[in-house]
Structure 1
Amino acid sequence: MIKAFRLIAILEGISYLLLFGVGMPLKYMADIKAPNIYIGNAHGVLFIAYAILAFFVCRHLKWGIKRYAILFIASLLPFGTFYIEEKYFSPKALKA
């Protein structure tokens, strides 16, 4: 489950950056809407998967609501999921 969460965290972070770094500028500056639709849909699915997996990972590791809140808030910030993945779920962090 943790491997799946790590993968989703990275993909969600990438989709977030693509949406706001590529999709939105294309939509509003170049009036090209198509990429935003696909990137937005992928990001939405990955965001929901991240939030659900974060809940189950917190239950599995017996972490409280505070840690879940940290994981969830990180998904709302640029680069937040990358930070969480490294701080809490890298092999080095899991051994500590």
Structure 2
Amino acid sequence: MPRTYGEWFRVAAVAEALSWAGLLVAMAFKYGLDMPLGVTIFGWIHGAVFTAYLVTTFVVFSPLRWSFGVLVLAGLASIPPLVTVWFERWARRRGLLEVRDADEPTFWQRVRALN
């Protein structure tokens, strides 16, 4: 079971990529062999996992202290097939999946301060 924000993000990124791959295979069966059932199943699965990836991204970006640009890049990575894995590896190499101590508040702390 994932214990850190980075691990949760990794699970979501890999799951999103796998659901994309499953959907692509199902589309090949649908259009190549006229077997549409796979698209119905994997379309639903991919939609749920895609949504989970985006929710996970919005949950982890503040504690991981991502900039707005990194948040946008993470969201855009979910659109082309399999790019979420590339983004996760890129973020891990740059230390973006580790919680860093900083004097400045997180995004959500700033939002709460506006009240």
What range describes the TM-score normalised by the shorter chain of this pair? 0.7 to 0.9
| Aligned residue number for residue 104 of structure 2 | none
What are the Cα deviations for residues 13-72 of structure 1, in whole angstroms up to 9, with x where unaligned?
01112212x111111121111111111111111100101111111111122221111001
Percentage identity across aligned positions? 29
| Aligned residue number for residue 18 of structure 1 | 22
Does 2:32 align with 1:29? Answer: yes
| Aligned residue number for residue 61 of structure 1 | 64
1:6 and 1:89 in contact (8 A); partners too: no
- Structure 1 residue runs of 4+, over 2 Å off? 92-95
TM-score (norm 2): 0.72
Which residue identity lines up with residue 80 of structure 2 in the other structure?
L
Q: Where do 5+ consecutive residues of structure 1 fail to align?
A: none
Q: Tell me how far apart the structure 2 counterparts of residues 4 and 62 of structure 1 sit (CA, whole Å).
A: 15
Which residue identity lines up with residue 6 of structure 1 in the other structure?
R
Q: Tell me how far apart the structure 2 counterparts of residues 89 and 41 of structure 1 sit (CA, whole Å).
A: 29
Equivalent of 1:75, from 70, 75, 78?
Answer: 78
RMSD: 1.8
